[in-house]
Amino acid sequence: MSRRNIDILGGSVFKNMLLFAFPIILTGFLQLLYNAADIVVVGRYAGENSLAAVGATTSITNLLITLFIGLSVGTNVLVAQFKGQRTENGSELVKKCVHTSVVIAVLGGIFLTVVGVSLSHYLLKMMDTPKEIIDEAALYMSIIFFGMPASLLYNFGSAILRASGDTKSPLVYASISGIINVILNLFFVVGFKMGAAGVGLATIISQYLSAWLTVGCLMKENSDIKLSLKELKVDVKMLRRIAGNGIPSGVSGVIFGLSNVIIQSTINGFGAIVVAGNSAAANIEGFAYIVMNAFSPTLSTFVGQAFGAGNAKRMKKSIYTGCLQVVIIGLTISFLILSFREPLLNIYAPGKSAVIEQGAKRMMIMLSGYFLCGLQDALVGALRGMGSSIIPTLATIIGICGMRLSWIYTVFAKYKTLESLYISYPLSWLVTDIALAVFMIFVTRKVIRSFGTAKE
């Protein structure tokens, strides 16, 4: 075992899962600091309209990139399962998966750049983005999409490293690029008064740096995840397997993102102050989400390797342990953020009481049930680790999207308040968790039966 790698199939499940998840949490924090630095700097030095312009693009940008991020989930699951086999054939499959995934990342990034830059203004107009911010929002969004090849390379590369047990390398690279991002934010926005365009430029420069570092790490590896430029090609059979595992995740993310676009469009109708408050609150909530979401790839890796090894006991223990950890952590961090909600919001919009009030209104509702969101992602990660991608997709469509969209066109249509809109989130998490828990019981039993005698 490399010093960077954690033994997924040996040792204490509880301890190793925390050791595995902790660097992912820190990595997520640093990635989120990209956006936090964008919002804080632009809010302090460029005004409310620039702050709203940055926030108004988030849902539509996430919608466009989600399908490809879903494919990186497929890569993570497959590499974990192949590594779990610990055979020569498994090693060859890992190599094919690595090289096919890198090609997907590059081509997918180029495709997203063309689509995002071409349609940014049109898509924001469709979302009823306020006239006073739409031009600046479109410019920011276009700049961000020039960074898509780097963003996908980092995500696919990190998925490969984590599936092999290395969560520390992505953390180091995110740390370096995060520091560069903050410095460049101040340089472009404060020094050159570039507003939203400046933070967008700082973001993509830091993204290309993190992608370069991640690719370099894979090229220096001495194991079966080593990347060789001469071997870069698409293995058709492996592409199908990645797509089979990743597209359902991507599709669920797209539909999930679509519901968020509709909700963001509804929020836009309340004006720039509400959009700014919502943007600041969502960014703060993201810190809680990133902690809980770390258990999704953690469970995919632990369950995936146990699945590949045919170890039913290790697989079941990983599922129970991961779900317990995410609930406890989710409740704790949500309580802490709620306790300091106004000082935190003041960082994003200093002295702007109206923006702070709107942000606090959202946070009180969302964070009260945020642990349910974390549990949802943990259950989805475990199911994917067992090779079940269709079920999480159906659960997401029914529980998240179906619930939220139905709510918007029924309850919200009648009351038309922000409170009635925001409450659709925790309710949709609850419905989805129930569905996933039921599915989990059936899938786990089916998988264990397929193992025959569990390996101890």
What's the pLDDT at 286?
83
Q: Which tens digit of pLDDT belongs to each residue from 256-269? A: 767 777 787 888 88
CA distances, 32 to each of 199, 290, 356 (Å): 14, 8, 20
Share the mean pLDDT of the chain: 86
Least confidently predicted of 4-13, 103-112, 137-146, 359-368: 4-13
Listed range (41-50, 130-139, 291-300) with the worst mean pLDDT: 41-50
Confidence of residue 302 (pLDDT cuts 50, 70, 90): very high
pLDDT score of 452:
67
Predicted TM-score of the model (pTM): 0.77
% of the chain beyond a pLDDT of 70: 96
5: β partners: 166
Q: How far apart are CA 392 and CA 225, in angstroms?
A: 27
Q: From CA 239, how far away is CA 189, in angstroms rounded?
A: 42
Task: Give the count of beta carbons closer than 10 Å to the beta carbon of residue 339.
Answer: 10
Torsion (CA) 106, 109, 114, 120 in degrees, nearest 10: -170
Give me 186's structure tokens: 């101040």
- Please tell me the predicted confidence (pLDDT) of residue 182: 84
pLDDT of res. 336? 94
Q: Is the pLDDT of residue 456 over 50?
A: no
Decide: 280 and 264 in contact? Cβ < 8 Å.
no
Phi and psi, residue 21, nearest 5°:
-75, -30
Q: Which of 177-191, 200-214, 243-257, 343-357 has the lowest mean pLDDT?
A: 243-257
For the ranges 33-37, 178-182, 272-276, 441-445, the lowest mean pLDDT is seen at: 33-37
Give the count of alpha carbons within 13 A of 408, CB side only.
Answer: 15
326 pLDDT exceeds 80?
A: yes
Average pLDDT over residues 418-445: 91
**SS3 letters for 110-140?**
HHHHHHHHHHHHHHHHHCCCCHHHHHHHHHH
Residue 100 has pLDDT above 80, yes or no: yes
Per-residue confidence (pLDDT) for residue 34, from 0 to 100: 65
Kindly tell me if the per-residue pLDDT of 52 is higher than 50. yes
3-state secondary structure of 5: strand
DSSP-assigned letter for residue 229: G
Give whole-number Cα distances, 212 to 151, 183, 348, 367, in Å. Answer: 10, 19, 31, 36
